[in-house]
């Protein structure tokens, strides 16, 4: 399991002055979640609560996601200086998550945010992290981003990030293709656009719809989570939304904040989309459920270009060829060979079937 970076943990403790205000942070976190679930903007009064809880959680999501991308889309990682545009950067969960997931490169970050306080806090973190790496550069732009201002933006980046910002930048309505075109045009050759959203059904289905119109109009190549460019099988099922639940070990201070709140803090829940103007390497299937245990058998679901497929194995068919089946988690990229095709959407893993996890969060 990837560890939360110690240097970020210390930086948060220093910036938020924890010992003085555990109780405050707890009560403000409750209000903050309420705002998010109603698509409301981040209220500056909750800054410390956000920094103490949402910032590390979001940073970790970004860090885990970025670690998966070099295998699938290596080019933007090979630049001598990696240029990153973080839109609605806030405290910097996106840009710093990317940094701690990649490290050992020169980085040039641009952070855009409409909040002066958020940018100020981002600057505090930046100065702490720069002490260990003089090759970090940042520039900030305090502005309220609109579609028009996106179009006017002239520079090009290896990564363009929207980390938990779509809900604030584009309120509940459908996201238009104009937006996607403008965002893609901000990427340098082979650059990536990374969007992370909370795992709420409303946010996620909106992202799924956006992906659907992108592939229908052949606007972008999808890098993750989908490994194909056909219709999203989950979009047709009204009760479903494509989100991921990833176990992690939260830092000690989050465990302390959680006393009395009793949130499920050992799971990162999110939905996401990584797109590019250029194609990626395509192999494997994405697991889109947890491993589900039933009497005498286990199963999970994968996303394929022909739709959602249930993959099952009877316990008595467990062999060394297929025992990675037992470790499956949502979001894994896997390979399955030599299975028994019971139906197009039902694959049976048999004794001689090979199941390999190629990559996981």
Q: What are phi and psi of 358, to 5 degrees?
A: -85, -30
Residue written as token pair 């009395």: 260
For ligand SAM, which is the closer residue by CB, 86 or 317? 86
Task: Give the residue with the Cβ less far from ligand SAM, 272 or 312.
Answer: 272
Instruction: Rank residues 197 and 332 by Cβ distance to ligand SAM and give the closer one.
Output: 197
Q: How far is the CB of 86 from ligand SAM (least distance, A)?
A: 7
CB 165 within 8 Å of CB 87: yes
The least distance separating ligand SAM from the CB of residue 24, rounded to whole angstroms, comes to 19
Q: Please say which residue, 94 or 284, places its beta carbon nearer to ligand SAM.
A: 94
Give the pair of three-digit tokens for residue 63: 């860090």
**How many CA atoms within 13 Å lie on the side-chain side of 206?**
19
Looking at beta carbons, which residue is closest to ligand SAM?
90
Contact partners, residue 205, CB within 8 Å, separation at least 6: 235, 241
Looking at the Cβ atoms of 9 and 75, the one nearer to ligand SAM is 9
Least distance from ligand SAM to the Cβ atom of residue 249, Å: 20
Provide the pairing of β-strand 157-163 with 81-87: parallel
CB 228 to ligand SAM: min, Å: 28
177 φ, ψ (degrees, to nearest 5)? -70, -25
Instruction: Give the position of tokens 């639940």.
Output: 245
CA angle at residue 12 from 7 to 17, to 5 degrees? 135
| C-beta closer to ligand SAM: residue 168 or 324 | 168
CB 241 within 8 A of CB 271: yes
Side-chain half-sphere CA neighbours of 78 within 13 A: 8
Least Å distance between CB 93 and ligand SAM?
Answer: 4
Q: Which CB sits closer to ligand SAM, 153 or 299? A: 153
Q: Measured from the CB of residue 182, what is the shortest distance to ligand SAM in angstroms? A: 14
Helix (H) or strand (E) holding 30: helix 22-37
Cβ atoms 11, 100 nearer than 8 A? no
What does the DSSP 8-state code read for residue 166? Answer: H
Please, what is the minimum distance in Å from the beta carbon of residue 117 to ligand SAM? Answer: 8
Instruction: Output 52 or 222, the one with its CB closest to ligand SAM.
Output: 52
Cβ partners under 8 Å of residue 183, min gap 6: 150, 160, 162, 193
221: which strand partners?
Answer: 276
State the CB neighbour count (10 A cutoff) for residue 278: 15
Report the interface residues with ligand SAM, using CB under 6 A.
41-42, 54-55, 58, 88-91, 93-94, 112-115, 118, 144-145, 163-165, 168-169
- Three-state secondary-structure class, residue 111: strand
Nearer to ligand SAM, 42 or 330 (CB): 42
Q: How far is the CB of 17 from ligand SAM (least distance, A)?
A: 20
Closest CB 147 distance from ligand SAM, rounded Å: 10
């Amino acid at each position: 399991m990837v560890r939360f970076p110690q240097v970020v943990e210390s930086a948060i403790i220093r910036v938020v002055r924890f010992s003085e205000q555990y109780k405050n942070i707890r009560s403000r976190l409750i209000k903050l979640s309420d705002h998010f679930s109603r698509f409301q903007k981040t209220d500056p009064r909750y800054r410390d609560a956000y920094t103490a809880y949402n910032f590390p959680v979001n940073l970790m999501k970004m860090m885990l996601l970025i670690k998966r991308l070099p295998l699938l889309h290596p080019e933007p990682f090979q630049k001598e200086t990696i240029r990153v545009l973080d839109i609605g950067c806030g405290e910097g969960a996106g840009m710093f998550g990317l940094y701690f997931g990649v490290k050992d490169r020169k980085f040039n970050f641009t952070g855009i945010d409409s909040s002066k306080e958020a940018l100020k806090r981002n600057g505090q973190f930046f100065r702490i992290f720069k002490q260990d790496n003089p090759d970090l550069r940042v520039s900030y732009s305090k502005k309220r981003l609109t579609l028009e201002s996106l179009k006017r933006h002239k520079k090009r980046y290896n990564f363009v990030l929207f980390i938990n910002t779509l809900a604030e930048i584009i309120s509940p309505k459908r996201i238009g293709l104009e937006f996607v075109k403008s965002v893609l045009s901000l990427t340098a050759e082979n650059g990536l656009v990374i969007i992370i959203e909370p795992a709420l059904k409303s946010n996620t289905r909106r992202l799924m719809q956006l992906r659907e119109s992108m592939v229908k109009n052949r606007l972008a190549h999808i890098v993750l989570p989908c490994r194909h460019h056909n219709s999203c099988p989950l979009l047709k099922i009204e009760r479903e939304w494509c989100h991921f639940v990833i176990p992690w070990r939260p830092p000690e201070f989050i465990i302390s904040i959680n006393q009395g709140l009793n949130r499920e803090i050992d799971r990162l829940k999110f939905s996401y989309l990584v797109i590019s103007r250029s194609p990626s390497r395509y192999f494997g299937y994405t697991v889109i459920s947890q491993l589900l245990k039933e009497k005498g058998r286990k199963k999970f679901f994968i996303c394929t270009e022909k739709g959602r497929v249930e993959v099952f194995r009877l316990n008595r068919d467990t062999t060394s060829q297929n025992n990675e089946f037992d470790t499956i988690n949502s979001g894994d990229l896997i390979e399955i060979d030599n299975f028994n095709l019971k139906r197009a959407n039902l694959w049976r893993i048999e004794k001689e079937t090979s199941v390999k996890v190629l990559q996981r969060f």
